[in-house]
Amino acid sequence: MCPFKPVIVFNGIQFKRSCSYECKPFGICDVVWFCFGLLLLADVGWAEEKKPNILVILADDLGYSDLGCYGGEISTPNIDRLANNGARFTNFYNSARCCPSRASLMTGLYPTQAGIGDFTTPKPAANKGPGYLGRLRNDCVTIAEVLKPSGYRCYYVGKWHMHPQTGPIDRGFDEFYGYTNDHSHDQFDKDYYERLPKGHPKEIDPPEQDFYATDVFNRYALEFMQQGKRSQQPWLLFLGHSSPHFPLQAPKERVDRYYERYLQGWDTLRGQRFDRMKQLGLLRETGQPLPVRSEVPVDEERIANGFAGKQNPAWDSLDKDRQRDLARRMAVYAAMVESIDRGVGELVKHLEDTHELANTLILILSDNGACYEWGPFGFDGVSRKGETVLYSDSGLDRVGGRGTHSSYGSAWANLSNTPLRSYKHFTYEGGIGTPMIAHWPGRISQKAGWIRTPAHLMDIMPTILEATGASYPTSWRNESIQPLEGVSLFPAMRGEVLEDRTLGFEHQGARALRKGIWKTVWTKRVPYTV
């Protein structure tokens, strides 16, 4: 009998060598067996293709032009590097607010199809139907639920905001660190953030004085990447930052670097952004001037700082104390965005060090446009219950510190959204337009550049399905599943033209339709504009 009986495993099937006669090493049996192995490898193009890792990074309330690669003055070199070696979308849309956008991204559906057309609530919204349950519906699936049957390990870090009753572990993710309830929280309060499944140890647990949520989210993303590497399985990692959503908070030394820059004011900086956007090719040279400052939405005068329904004020019209207060607020915001970028650099370095960057699809985007709440001077305290505080002299250093709860207001949000109109909540471009960067060496060409085809958060799921080869189910947990609404973006990133389609938007009475170059908008206070 032949003493050599190796095994070849192909697509989970074992092929065992067995001979019924005597043979010598490297004789005829070895030659035949070697040729058989070559045939198997040739059948799959030498070897079965390795499935890609997927990294999705979602910022919260990031404006359209805040990133350096979109014209912003905030330092984001790591994100810029990915953008310069990948694709950038100029007409990428979200769903105007945190939770509807997350529901759409996670399911490949419109928010109402996913069950979160409005906000997350503990009970279904009265008389509003299944599109407004306030949680993910049972007849939709998440990206994690689709990828797990294909062998993926699935990790989630940060802000969930799709209701704790349909939390990340319930909806397909293996590991989680962050918070499942509420839109934001004190970034220095470590007790608010949890590790799931319950009982899993906190691998990263800095002391209270060193805790800053954005940094800890970045570190957990790296930890979960390392766990995915050790599992020897492909992985999905969703990093949902709460930055730069209010409360505006960041380590003081990062804030200090930006303070002098923002003393220039929003009018000067809007003009500079507008010029850079044209230099980058994001905006085509049409001869059109920078649009005028956006209006402050109509709201209670107490929280709109007396500017409800009026245009944001000129920077030079403000007194020096107000300018210093506002410059400090914007400096904190910028430091939060920079902190996201620092984490991106750490994650990309790990992927390079482990030779996984070329096999990882990275997507970076925002959940909605910049947030105006509630007037040009921002607020302090808990949203509508708060009031506007004027910080001056030594009090300026308190802005962005532990226990504070400040926003930066409508005029800085107008800068963040340059040159777009309006803000988060609304369906004008400033509310639903987001930067979107896609990076995958070898699969997304550096020549992809600016992609002007309109696209939407619901396109992320089918894009990931094409990248991974995973199949979208027709049923799940004994429920018939709605068909995908989105489309894969890979044709657009290959230079092809996506089929023209109508995109719809609706949130709390603000509505819009876009088809081709035409868009119509309805708001709560104006019948419609085209």
pLDDT digits (tens, 9 = 90+) for 269-309: 999 999 999 999 999 888 889 999 999 998 777 788 889 99
Q: 407 with 515, same domain? A: yes
> Mean pLDDT, to the nearest integer, of 234-243?
98
* Phi, psi dihedral angles at 504 (to 5 degrees): -115, 150
Cα dist from 20 to 14, 23, 208, 347, 357, whole Å? 19, 9, 70, 54, 48
pLDDT at 184: 83
Instruction: Let me know whether 159 and 23 are in one domain.
Output: no
- Please indicate, yes or no, if residue 99 is contained in any of the structural domains: yes
- Distance between CA atoms of 113 and 91, rounded to whole angstroms? 22
Strands 87-93 and 449-451: parallel
Q: Kindly list the catalytic residues.
A: 98, 161
Mean pLDDT (whole number) for 349-378: 97
Q: Is the pLDDT of residue 383 over 70?
A: no
Of 70-74, 382-386, 402-406, 458-462, the range with the lowest mean pLDDT is: 382-386
Tell me, yes or no, whether 195 lies in a domain: yes
Q: How confident is the model at residue 519 (pLDDT cuts 50, 70, 90)?
A: very high
Domain co-membership, 155 together with 17: no
Instruction: Please determine, for residue 45, whether its predicted confidence score (pLDDT) is greater than 90.
Output: no
Q: Does residue 498 lie within any of the structural domains? A: no
| Identity of residue 134 | G
So what's the pLDDT on residue 5? 41
pTM of the model: 0.90
Residues 331 and 367 in one domain: yes
Do 22 and 126 share a domain, yes or no? Answer: no
Position 470 pLDDT exceeds 90 = yes
In a domain, 530, yes or no: no
**Digit-coded pLDDT (tens) for 262-271:** 999 999 999 9
Lowest-confidence range among 153-157, 239-243, 522-526? 522-526
- The sheet with strand 510-515 has its strands ordered as 502-507, 510-515, 518-522
pLDDT of residue 122: 67
Percent above pLDDT 70 for the chain: 88
Total domains in the fold of the chain: 2
Kindly state whether residues 86 and 29 are assigned to the same domain: no
Confidence class of residue 35 from pLDDT cuts 50, 70 and 90?
very low
Average pLDDT over residues 150-155: 98
80 plus 19 within the same structural domain:
no
Averaged pLDDT score across all residues of the chain: 90
**DSSP for residue 280:** H
Terminal CA-CA length for the chain: 83
- Contact (Cβ atoms closer than 8 angstroms) between residue 70 and residue 435: yes
The upper half-sphere exposure of residue 183, i.e. CA atoms within 13 Å in the direction of its Cβ, equals: 18
Kindly state whether residues 123 and 204 are assigned to the same domain.
Answer: yes
Give the whole-number percent of the chain exceeding pLDDT 90. 78
Q: Is residue 223 part of a domain?
A: yes
Question: In terms of Cα–Cα distance, which of 158, 201, 203 is closest to 177?
Answer: 158
Answer yes or no: do 185 and 38 share one domain: no
| pLDDT for the residue numbered 400 | 98
Q: Torsion over CA of 178, 470, 495 and 447, rounded to 10 degrees?
A: 60
Measured from the Cβ of residue 199, the count of other Cβ atoms closer than 10 Å reads 6
| pLDDT for 42 | 41
Flag whether pLDDT at 205 surpasses 50: yes
> Is the residue at 2 inside a domain?
no
pLDDT of residue 23: 46
Q: How far apart are CA 309 and CA 277, in angstroms?
A: 28
Co-location of 386 and 422 in the same domain: yes
| Residue 203 lies inside a defined structural domain of this protein | yes
For residue 445, the model assigns a pLDDT of 82
| Residue 447 binned pLDDT confidence (cut-offs 50, 70, 90) | confident
Cβ(261)–Cβ(78) below 8 Å:
no
Above 90 in pLDDT, residue 54?
Answer: yes
Task: Name which of 12-16, 151-155, 432-436 the model is least confident about.
Answer: 12-16
Tokens representing residue 245 in the block? 């959503």
**Residue-range definition of the domain harbouring residue 18:** 7-43
Mean pLDDT of 304-323: 96
Residues 233 and 149 in one domain: yes
Q: What distance in Å separates the CA atoms of residue 212 and residue 206, rounded to the nearest whole number?
A: 9
Is there a domain that residue 78 lies in? yes
Question: Is pLDDT of 26 > 50?
Answer: no
Residue 274: per-residue pLDDT: 98
Q: Is the pLDDT of residue 20 over 60?
A: no
57 shares its domain with 199: yes
Q: Is the pLDDT of residue 236 over 50?
A: yes
pLDDT at 442: 85
Q: What is the CATH number of the domain that holds 192?
A: 3.40.720.10
d(CA 405, CA 188): 11
